[in-house]
Structure 1
Amino acid sequence: MTVRIRKYSWQLAPADIRNIRQTVFVEEQQVPPELEWDDTDEIADHYLVVLPDNTPVGVGRLFSTLEETAHIGRMAILPAHRGKGIGKRLLRHLVSEAAGRFSELRLSAQEHAIPFYQRSGFHVCSDLYDDAGIPHVDMRCLAPQLLSNAFGTRQAPMLLGEDRDAWLFHSEQTMTELMDSVVGQARQRLWLYDRLLDHDLYDRLRLRELISTLARRHRLSEVRLLIHDDKPLVKHRHRIVELMRRLPSRIELRLVNDDYPVGDQPFLLVDREGVVFRHDFYKPEGFAKFSDSGRVRLLAESFQRMWDVGKSSLELRELPL
């Protein structure tokens, strides 16, 4: 269906935007008015979806409270116009509006709408919670620009266990976005093999937070870091080391044993589906896959062999607290 999407500030927004939200949220879903109308409206960009004859059919808003994170919210399509792809068009328009300006997109999804958002590249990142009497989860996208570029060409883009296509990368920025998108969906296991824990690549705030979240998730969480050179960890006072010391039973580091065969290509494995693979230790070139159990199994076997004969780090053992 052909639609147009118009952007407004709250001060200049037509009454249609308020009317649609009133109809869908307050009247249909019984959201209390004092929760529906909040201060965020004043700082948000508001979007109105209209048909070719200018009939208003849907709304959404986009706002930011952090420099690198934007929030999508208050998406609503009038009952008579649902099931026609209008919601998907609106969501993807909002993603495209944010792409290039923000490195993360978040939204709060009603439980029944989770598959809708997953099909457009968002993954669940919280437990279920109650909001205005309705079950919700938080969802996010950690690579809005990549997602925007992929619309129309991929099914369930960047969704762990679902997206079977390869994502190629030739730059560090694309590589880190894909890495974060894979790690951000880990439920239990993260195994990393590299020459060293490069500061710019692995000591980023977002990645540390993702690893910390995984390590604290439950008692079976497992983060294994297998590297060749541990001296930069001490020289740069890598903050991953601080995380390891707080969670020693969940995060472990070993050095490869050169007396045994070792791999010459770095990789990162998440659970039994996700992989980020580089062709060379020294170049940000390779691919990411979000659903490739066969490749992950083979790489995991290689990792396990190196891990079993690996050595503990004397540098870290002697590092003062």
Structure 2
Amino acid sequence: MTGEASQDRDNGLERAAGEMRELLDSARRRIWLQTRSQLLCALPPIDIAEALSRVARRSRYADLRLLIDDALALKEGQPQLARAVMRLTTAVEVRCFQPEEDTPASLLLIVDQHAWLYLVQHQGHVGLKSMHDDPPGARIAADRFDESWIFGTEALELRNLMI
């Protein structure tokens, strides 16, 4: 990757992180996040754990879901998020999915009933689409998320098992 392509990628990831922060700050009841762990770890720091915790405390009807490809990589690369998920076992549902080998790394974030973000990174390029007030788009994104969620398996690596 050339220096210019690397800088473009870094700028795209920085922009995506800023958009994610805004969306997470606005969350009141629902946060759904589907991502590959490597992409989440490549982003500049975002306090997803704080957003999940805040929404879980704010509403007993919070709908918090995390769909990832590799729970162990998430534990290593995002330890604060992993600890929050393990602490909030009744509030946050976590599942793992198996992405196709040749698909680009992507991240889908859905906040409440109106906002969504889609980030894709492939061969050093970053694509970003984010909408803050788009209920129909959020519904379509939620349907896509649900399709993957159904086939996911529980992420036992991110659960405190009581014996």
For the criterion TM > 0.5, the same-fold answer is: yes
Q: Of 301, 312, 315, which aligns to 2:154? A: 312
* Deviation per residue, 1:171-205 (Å, 9 max, x gap): 22221111111111111001111111633538x36
Any conservation in 2 of the 1:278–1:286 contact (CA below 8 Å)? yes
Structure 1 residues 173 and 269: CA distance shift in structure 2, 3 A? same
Aligned residue for 1:248, secondary structure, equals: coil
1:1-321 mapped onto 2 (5 Å cutoff): 171-196=12-37, 198-201=40-43, 204=45, 206-236=47-77, 238-257=79-98, 265-280=106-121, 283-317=125-159
Q: Larger relative contact order (C-alpha < 8 A, sep ≥ 6)?
A: 2
Structure 1 residues 234 and 187: CA distance shift in structure 2, 3 A? closer
Structure 2, unpaired ranges of 5+: 1-10
TM-score, length-scaled by structure 2: 0.75
Give the fraction of aligned pairs with identical amino acids, expressed as a percent: 26
- Displacement of 1:232: 1.1
Partners of 1:311 and 1:179 in 2: how far apart?
25
Q: CA RMSD in A?
A: 3.0
Q: How many residues align?
A: 148
Any conservation in 1 of the 2:104–2:120 contact (CA below 8 Å)? no
Partners of 2:144 and 2:59 in 1: how far apart?
26
Structure with greater Cα Rg:
1
Greater percentage in helix: 2
Structure 1 residues 249 and 298: CA distance shift in structure 2, 3 A? same
Structure 1, unpaired ranges of 5+: 1-169
* Deviation per residue, 1:67-107 (Å, 9 max, x gap): xxxxxxxxxxxxxxxxxxxxxxxxxxxxxxxxxxxxxxxxx
- Displacement of 1:317: 4.7
Partners of 1:238 and 1:283 in 2: how far apart?
27
